[in-house]
Every structure is written in C-alpha cells, then in structure tokens.
Amino acid sequence: MVNPPPMTNQKPTKILQELDLTHHLHPFTDQKELRSQKPRIIVRGEGIYIYDNDGKKYLDGMAGLWCVNIGYGRSELAIAAKKQMEELPYYNTFFQTSHPPAIELATKLALLAPEGLDHVFFSGSGSEANETNIRLVRHYWTSLGMPEKSVIVSRKNSYHGSSMGAASLGGMHTMHAQGGLPIPDIIHINQPYWYGEGKDVTPDEFGLMKARELKDVIEKYGRERIGAFIGEPIQGAGGVIIPPDTYWPEIERICRESDILLIVDEVICGFGRLGSWFGCQQYGVKPDIITIAKGMSSGYQPIGGSIVSTKIAATLEQKGGEFNHGYTYSAHPVSAAVSLENLRILEEENIIEKVNSHTAKYMAKKWHALGEHPLVGEARVNGLMGALELTPDKSSKSPFTDSGHAGIITRNICLNHGLIMRAVEDKMIISPPLIIKASEIDELTNIVWTCLDKSQKELKQKGLLAS
C-alpha cells in the first residue's frame, strides 16, 4: 500500500494476535478455531470502511454488528462524550434521581416513537433491555392482579440477546443447548420464513398461517396465561427473514383480541435500517413495548432501552409499588449524551429520509440483480438489510446437504476481497451503514458478484453443486 492510513496502535499484528489468543476469550467464537485462523485486528474506521492493523481496507457490509448507522469517524460523538465526561461522567438514576442527558434522551425518544409510546426504561444493551421486558411484562400483569399471565410467546430462530432471559426469548437452539435454556414460561412458535419453510403456499397465505400459530398457543394455554408476544420486525441474526406483509397486522390483531402485550424488538430495525425511525411503522403495527439498542448510539457507546406505552406506564404509576429492577448503567450519562448526538445527526442530515427516498430503492435494484447469479436461490432486501440464499441447484432452489459450508466459503472469499459480509448457515447477509452512497452500493454488489463466481468455482471443485 502506497499511503497507509495512520495507526494509533503501533504493536505489530503478530504480537497483538498472540496476546489476544493468550488473554482474550471471544464472544460467539470457537477459541480452538480462532487459534488456527488468527483474529483480524481492526484499528480504524472511516465512513463505511474499516482498516486492519496492516492497513487492509474493508467495506463494512454489516455496520459493525448492525449498529454503526451513521458510519465511522464522526468526531461530533467523541466531542459529546468528552464534554459529558468532564461535566458528569457518571451518576445513577435510581432512588429518585435523574440527570439532564437521561431526561433529554427519554424525551427525544418519546417524540420519535409512534404515538402512545412515551416512557423509556434504559439499559446498557439490547440483551438487558429484553431482560427488562420479561420482568416488566410480568410485573405489569401482577400489579393488575393477573400474575399467571407470565408466559411470553416468541419465535424459533429469533434473536433477542445473549443473557439468560434474552437468549430464552430468542429461538436459537444452539444457544438453548448451552446452559439449560429457556427459562420457564417462554414458548416458541414457528417463524414466518417463506423461502425456507413455506414455498408450497403463497407468501400472503403463509404469513397468515404463521401468525395464527399465536392464536393456537393462546387457545391451548388460555389467554389468562399469555402475557406478551415478542418479535423482530425482520429477523436479523436469524438470516434477514423478511415476513410476508400479512404477518404483522395479523399478529397485532390477535394480541389485541386476546389482551396480550405486543413487544417489537427494534434493536436492528430501529433508527433507520428500514427507512423509518422504527421498523414497526413499515408494517403498520403499534406495539406496547419497543426494544432499542445498537443504532440508538450507532454503536459509539453501549446503550439500550425499552420504550413503553403510556398505558403500561400509567398503570404502574397508578398501582404504585417499586419495580425491583435496574442497572448501574441505566441511562449512563456519557452513553445518553452520545446517543442524543447520534439522533441529532440522523435527523438533521436527513439520513433516514434519504434511505427511504433513495438508498433503499437503489440497493433493492442492485441486490435483486444478484438474484440472477447461478448460486443464488433468492435475493431479498428491505431498507438496508438484505440476504442471499445460496443453493446448489438454482432450478429447484434446494438447500445444501452440508448446511453452512457454502456460506463459510463465500464469507471467507468476501473477506479476502475486502468485504465484510456475514454468513448465517448458507444465507449471506448485509446491513451496511445507512450513509452508504450509490457508488458504494455498486462497489459492494460488484464485489459480491465476483465472490459468488469464485465461491461457485470452489464449490464445484469440491463436488458440492448439482451438475
């Protein structure tokens, strides 16, 4: 490289990797595999690009972990953090105390959220926010004299975080298998995954069928047992599963007719990912609780929360009694100040409006064109999250027998070509920063096409494709 970008960390990559392997246990990582592969050391970010310790540039097709919505390198957020740290680096919001960043952020979120959602309970992450939701739902029904309404219905292959309660809400069986999950009173129904599980009926019929599994559960257990339903507008970590349009309105209808709270987990879909402040607005549903995190601060500081309906907040206030729950870092002042600055940038630079009016349409055109590739069974996208379903046989769209192999091969080829794209089994997924430009979408999709070609060649050599 002619002009390597400046590096703040001057240790050689080899030494950093060795220290990392010696002292750092990684999340969602096979440590044994890590030792043979060596960790990538990322040192810097700018716009939609990140750089490793050797100066190699990557287009970050995942916005970190679905969170860097405004892109890397916005010094305004660093300035907001510095200012807040100097003024009040920490104080809590327990015991009848508050501080300006907490108040300003709660007020701003109430303004941005759909009408009727106007209170915020803060956490440090999405997982924590969903822990709060489990306890809040059960506390709410108990305070109304219905403690047996403790069951929460979720979906298979959903993701709601990694702590005990949140992973129990989630429908990832590999996570449940470690540590004796789920906790009691969580029920999982099937996901609205038409491509994978529903091709024998139309998407609209399939959406209704899957939503009505909620009704079946209510009939089986009784509405007096079911307290809430939780779902992501679009499942992210499960592989960008975009539900048929019939799905969410039917879920909402069933929740309303059976007096069940609707929790929409907007940790990914919130803050512009689908071209609106919240994903539920795209599907025309109004939840009782919204889970937020990730794009809330564009990942610059850890923060999450639950936006709660006026009805729930008013009930808790009226009934009185302490909610015995909270986090040391609920509404952390530095995180809150950074989140406010992030929201200011999203709003003043019309970033979400641009996604809605331009970027999402351009992405859809380019993404659907990737669906022409012989290795791709389906290309789906909504806003700025998309997936490609890899298939060994385009005519039948059958899945690979050795699930996940093709995904890993393709992901690694993408990495070699300077693109971060994630593989969920054999689904290739993207969720780039919202500030991505048309020319950068061209770049992204061109790299993907090249990598699909190479992947196809490699899979063919290994005898994994239909002839």
**Which residues sit at the interface with ligand PLP, rule CB under 6 A?**
125-127, 130, 159-161, 232, 236-237, 265, 267-268, 293, 304
Closest CB 237 distance from ligand PLP, rounded Å: 6
**d(Cα 241, Cα 234) in Å, to the nearest integer?**
6
Closest CB 367 distance from ligand PLP, rounded Å: 20
Nearer to ligand PLP, 293 or 308 (CB): 293
Closest CB 124 distance from ligand PLP, rounded Å: 8
Closest CB 305 distance from ligand PLP, rounded Å: 11
Structure tokens at 305: 């929360």
Nearer to ligand PLP, 332 or 366 (CB): 332
According to DSSP, the β-strands at 49-52 and 57-60 are antiparallel
Which DSSP state fits 125?
S
According to DSSP, the β-strands at 376-382 and 385-390 are antiparallel
Q: In 3D, which of 306, 292, 303, 26 has the Cα closest to residue 140?
A: 306
Q: What are phi and psi of 292, to 5 degrees?
A: -130, 155
Closest CB 228 distance from ligand PLP, rounded Å: 15
Nearer to ligand PLP, 130 or 391 (CB): 130
Q: Please, what sign has the CA dihedral across residues 173, 266, 211, 224?
A: positive
Nearer to ligand PLP, 70 or 409 (CB): 70
Closest CB 451 distance from ligand PLP, rounded Å: 25
Assess contact for 261 and 228: CB atoms under 8 A: yes
Nearer to ligand PLP, 117 or 452 (CB): 117
Closest CB 235 distance from ligand PLP, rounded Å: 8
Q: How much is the CA Rg of the chain, to the nearest whole Å?
A: 22
Strands laid side by side in the 49-52 sheet: 42-46, 49-52, 57-60, 419-420
Nearer to ligand PLP, 179 or 463 (CB): 179
Nearer to ligand PLP, 17 or 301 (CB): 301
Closest CB 162 distance from ligand PLP, rounded Å: 6
Long-range contacts of 215-219 (CB under 8 A, 24+ apart): 215/254, 215/258, 216/189, 217/153, 217/187, 217/189, 218/254, 218/258, 218/260
**d(Cα 466, Cα 399) in Å, to the nearest integer?**
11
Nearer to ligand PLP, 377 or 386 (CB): 386
Count CB neighbours of 344 within 10 A: 14
Closest CB 120 distance from ligand PLP, rounded Å: 16
Nearer to ligand PLP, 304 or 392 (CB): 304
Instruction: Return the residue nearest ligand PLP (CB atom).
Output: 126
Q: Exposure pattern of 394-404 as b/e (b: 16+ CB <10 Å)?
A: beeeebbeeee
Closest CB 272 distance from ligand PLP, rounded Å: 15
Who contacts 379 (Cβ-Cβ below 8 Å, separation ≥6)? 367, 368, 369, 370, 371, 386, 387, 388, 389
Structure tokens at 203: 């998407």
Closest CB 127 distance from ligand PLP, rounded Å: 3
Nearer to ligand PLP, 161 or 203 (CB): 161
Structure tokens at 214: 């909620």
Nearer to ligand PLP, 149 or 294 (CB): 294
Which amino acid does the sequence have at 39? P
Closest CB 457 distance from ligand PLP, rounded Å: 33
Which DSSP state fits 170?
S
Count CB neighbours of 75 within 10 A: 8
Nearer to ligand PLP, 182 or 392 (CB): 182
* DSSP element (H, E) containing 72: none
β-bridge partners, 46: 49
Which amino acid does the sequence have at 439? S
Cis peptide before 333 (omega within 30 of 0): no
